Amino acid sequence: MAVILIVDDNPDACVPLARLMRVLGHKGECVYSGEEALAFIEKNPVDLMILDMMMPGMDGLEVLRHVRSNPATAKLQVVMFSAISDPKFREHALQKGANDYWLKASLDFSQLQSRVGQFLNGPTA
């Protein structure tokens, strides 16, 4: 069972995604700010972080910068999860070290299951 941390300031987005991770057989954990995310990964092993781009205070890119600059978390798989569909945002997030960029509105259950599986198990044939 993988530990998947969902970071989103909106509980209406975070909680259902965490439940979905549990349905997929993983441990889905929610935190609601960048500061909470950094504190969580400091104390708990995490296999995948699904990180909202736009949050008050510390936004997703700032969280990503902290994750990548810390040797203990630098290799953590981080997916930016955003409502922003502008390709410039996606490109910027990937340049800053995100492993992928998913649009909130465009993923259905089977796509999400497949993408999470790819991050946790590597590509499938």
Query: Domain locations in the chain?
Result: 3-121
Residue-wise pLDDT tens digits, 59-109:
999 999 999 999 999 999 999 999 999 999 999 999 999 999 989 877 676
The mean pLDDT of the chain is 91
Residues with Cβ within 8 Å of residue 43, at least 6 apart in sequence: none
Q: How far is CA 82 from CA 1, 102, 122, in A?
A: 25, 6, 23
pTM assigned to the model: 0.90
* 28 Rama class: left (phi>0) / alpha (psi -120 to 50) / beta: beta
Share of the chain above pLDDT 90, in %: 74
**The listed CATH number (3.40.50.2300, 1.10.10.10, 1.50.10.10, 3.30.1330.10) that belongs to domain 3-121:** 3.40.50.2300
pLDDT value of residue 122: 63
CB of 17 within 8 A of CB of 49? no
Helix (H) or strand (E) holding 3, with range, is strand 3-7
Per-residue pLDDT at 53? 94
How much is the average pLDDT of 23-47? 96
